[in-house]
Structure 1
């Protein structure tokens, strides 16, 4: 695949840049500028470098192929990948830059250092090169430092190199499954770890390299002074390391804090809380980022409020359309919703649950849209067959709501719509559920629906008084209606009537 071939070419280019910079430019130049040896010995040392490079490249090529094998298999195969395979490969590619460090620090370092050290010691023993033996230890330390810097450079270059692969997997996931693979917020490599290691190494690398080069140079100029120089140089390196670590800590804290603030705010928004804004406490680019973030929250809040208004209007319109079929039941759905909301608040419902209850009550009779006019609008008493048709409206209502997309948007309203004609004693319909098996919204709406039905006028009868309807509710507590919710409604209605009587008497 084209994107994979481009990725391989970019990796090879990055590797050549890092290797040339780390091994030849740093290693060879330092060796040339510090060691004072005859040209023939320098040629022999250069041969050691080249031979060691062959070992290093061979070892790293094996490790490189092993690391690339799963990625190559994924992109070269013509088989269709499953969603699980895509998610797994998406994570593996994210981890690939980190594995690059291991490839360089183990096959790369050992593949170069061990042959180079062995050949150098062998040539020293044969007298083919002449310099102090402990220089081999210094060279090994320098090789470790160079490998670390090479690994650092390679890591950041590889992070950029893998991005086309990630984009390709996301494209395939969107195309095949409608979902783009994602880490879902998981942190595989923390910013703190990257910054601390990177800034510390960047600060220490030139300092330590200068220390080694100067020490070797002083060995030729004044061996005694070179010994004194070690103590002074070690102190300087330790102080430099301290400054590098403190500086990296300060830098990462300056980046970590605003990132942590934004992460905290995003988690809060994910939970649905749009009431606050991220504090803009920064004078750098994070100020623009936080300003944009807060602007996004403002837009989300405006859209959420508009959606809420549209949804509320949608429910009210459905209820009004249903009530418009029969002038005698006009406003029934709205009144039942108000009564249900009253009961819900009396029972201690939170705002979210109370809103769901209100909307469920608005739609409780939506199934009557499917009832024929000759049955629904009949003036007289219904026959058994006609009443059986009426009794289908809870199930019809549930089926109507199930047709609305997305399906989960209506899920909270289905139980109340289906079960608002169940009886507490189990003799209701459509499922014959009893007691607490009846969904919560169904038990509340049943009380509100019955009260409004009893107190509303019908073609064949006038509505009864509120007090008489309350007495019927009281008699039916525990048999037809949930005793707790019926009791709450009865007590509150009578309490409000009691509060109204003194004012009415004062007016008269």
Structure 2
């Protein structure tokens, strides 16, 4: 509650300073300096001001209590649901905007209505000797002052609520490990804030000067005052035009770099690091864009380093597996190279090709769990031993599921589990057939079979490439996916022909 009490103190302090400035310093000084009436009537006007302030305070306290009630109740409690944290976080963000409505509503009307009523009554009774039209001018001045007061109060309140927002975020982190956030939602557009602020700053002194001067001229030369009115209105209109154009130019000068940075951030979120934001500005935005580009460069370097570390991690796992058996050394790497060749031939994009390559590197990782006496046996395996070997796709999937975070390996699981499925449904471990076999599994199956057939084993020598290709060709549509097997066979033979052409030229 200490943070909330500090906020209330700051809120009241800002409000009193703003109200005193608006009502007493601006309102009373302008009134005294422009009106030429007996001193007793000044006293009566001050009494009207004081009585109106009482009405204003009652109306505003009721409104403020209603706006602050839910926020105060939140900080009085110790435990909160996550939904309540999010609601309060947004409610606090909206509070500065509610300040504007409070000042333009109960604050201004709570003062202006009683003041206008009492002034009209005193004029009718003869206690005040001023024209009735001055009440309308005073109402216009009150509207101007209230708008300027609301503007100042808004920006002061924006700063005042920040400790509350930090406290809500702290409680969310403490209770649920999550900090409430607007998630990028815009409650008050910066364009509206800038345009309103600059327009008021430009028009407030101009309109106030026009109205005060008109009243003074009424006492000096009423005829000239009428001529001044037309001229003054023209000046105010021109001033309003310049103010609006200036505010539009200012917001455009701020909005463009903000929009450009927002666009670039969205691009970065999608993983596009290649481009840099052009530095076209000579103000503080130049520093911001320079820092943003530097951040991108560092993120790009970190991403590349992480990619290299991850690639080394996969290669290390594959090398550790191959190191168990000198006869299969390099098998995982070769299967990965053959697999990515097939993927490229099929038109696979870079992202998918990278996932395929890593899946192929890990396709036999489950063999880590196969006993040495089975995995490293010289000679033909028994049926029981072969059944143990057949468990390695499921073992591989189980091993990868133990890596945290769980979703980090999700893209590699299908290829690891299904690389021994057959296109005709007679494979293992799930007996899937045709295109129900995952894509990576169908591709790795072709690459794995070719390398297995062409590699030496303790109990046999590896067969020739052409013989292995003929077996692949015979097994298209039964053991292997006909499309991917065909791509591999055609490409291997094409490369073989290219390798033989220079030799034929030399002979």
Q: TM-score range by the shorter chain?
A: over 0.9
Task: Show the counterpart of 1:293.
Answer: 292
Cα deviation, 1:123-180, whole Å, max 9, x if unaligned, reads: 1111111111011111111111111111101100000001001111111222222222
Task: Show the counterpart of 2:323.
Answer: 324
Task: Show the counterpart of 1:449.
Answer: 448
In the alignment, structure 1 segments of 5+ residues that lack a partner are: none
CA distance in 2, matches of 1:421, 1:181: 48
Task: Show the counterpart of 1:278.
Answer: 277
| CA positional deviation for 1:276 | 1.0
Task: Show the counterpart of 1:499.
Answer: 498
CA distance in 2, matches of 1:437, 1:91: 48
Q: Which shifted more, 410-419 or 311-320?
A: 410-419
Task: Show the counterpart of 2:463.
Answer: 464
State the secondary structure of the residue aligned to 1:379: coil
State the secondary structure of the residue aligned to 2:422: coil
CA distance in 1, matches of 2:98, 2:383: 76
CA distance in 1, matches of 2:405, 2:111: 61
Q: Does 1:148 align with 2:147?
A: yes
In the alignment, structure 2 segments of 5+ residues that lack a partner are: none
| CA positional deviation for 1:15 | 0.6
Cα deviation, 1:18-69, whole Å, max 9, x if unaligned, reads: 1111111111111111111111111111111111111111111111011111
- What is the TM-score normalised by the length of structure 2? 0.98
Task: Show the counterpart of 1:75.
Answer: 75
Task: Show the counterpart of 1:96.
Answer: 95
Which runs of 4 or more aligned residues in structure 1 lie more than 6 Å from their structure 2 counterparts after TM superposition?
none
State the secondary structure of the residue aligned to 1:412: coil
Task: Show the counterpart of 1:206.
Answer: 205
Task: Show the counterpart of 1:395.
Answer: 394
| CA positional deviation for 1:504 | 2.5
State the secondary structure of the residue aligned to 2:412: helix
CA distance in 2, matches of 1:8, 1:266: 37
| CA positional deviation for 1:82 | 2.1
Task: Show the counterpart of 2:66.
Answer: 66
| CA positional deviation for 1:116 | 1.1
Cα deviation, 1:462-502, whole Å, max 9, x if unaligned, reads: 11111121121112212221111111111111111222222
CA distance in 1, matches of 2:268, 2:227: 62
Cα deviation, 1:181-236, whole Å, max 9, x if unaligned, reads: 22222221121111111011001000100011100111111111111110000011
Task: Show the counterpart of 1:473.
Answer: 472
| CA positional deviation for 1:408 | 2.0
CA distance in 2, matches of 1:482, 1:128: 104
| CA positional deviation for 1:281 | 0.9
State the secondary structure of the residue aligned to 1:428: coil
Q: Which shifted more, 158-167 or 395-404?
A: 395-404
Which residues of 2 match residues 36-435 of structure 1 at below 5 A? Answer: 36-78=36-78, 80-435=79-434
CA RMSD of aligned residues (A): 1.1
CA distance in 1, matches of 2:190, 2:397: 50
Count of aligned positions: 507
CA distance in 2, matches of 1:157, 1:199: 17
CA distance in 1, matches of 2:395, 2:176: 33
